[in-house]
Amino acid sequence: MNKNEILDFISDSGIENIQEINYKNDLFVIKFQYVFDKYEINAAKASADGECSKENEEDTWYSKYYLPFLNDLSLDNVDAALEDCIDEFGIKAKSIVHEVKDRNCGYSDCLAVFSEANKEFDINKIAKDIKF
């Protein structure tokens, strides 16, 4: 498993601020941010506008429509990037994507763990161990 190849491969997926976490030698653990581009932000706004009037219900607009759209988008795109890694390198990969809670936040915090295809690991335990 070549860590640099994995990083190069996923770096074209809206993934930024990658930080490698030393955990175990047979696991490659990274924290990163999925950063929303202007098209994704505009799509979230348009979707929320179609569902709710921002003028009358601003809190509902953000909490029920805008932020969930961004959360779904980041989860889908991170999952797709990891699936592409699995297909490209024949490895195992799992992720955790934190929900965006701040309406001014332009990213989701994420954790990904990569291993050889036959290696078992518990991403939730890893997340707890590194206080993610």
The domain that holds 93 is classified in CATH as: 3.30.980
- pLDDT tens series, the chain, 132 aa: 899 999 999 987 779 999 999 998 899 999 999 999 999 999 999 999 998 876 667 788 899 999 999 999 999 999 999 999 999 999 999 999 999 988 778 999 999 999 999 999 999 999 999 999
Q: At what angle do helices 3-10 and 67-89 cross, to 10 degrees?
A: 140
* pTM score: 0.89
Our CA angle for 34, 96, 88, nearest 5°, is 75
Q: Residue 84's closest CA among 13, 4, 1?
A: 13
Our separate counts of H helices and E strands in the chain read 5, 4
What total of structural domains would you count in the chain? 1
Token couple for 73? 């988008």
Domain assignment of residue 75, given as a range = 3-129
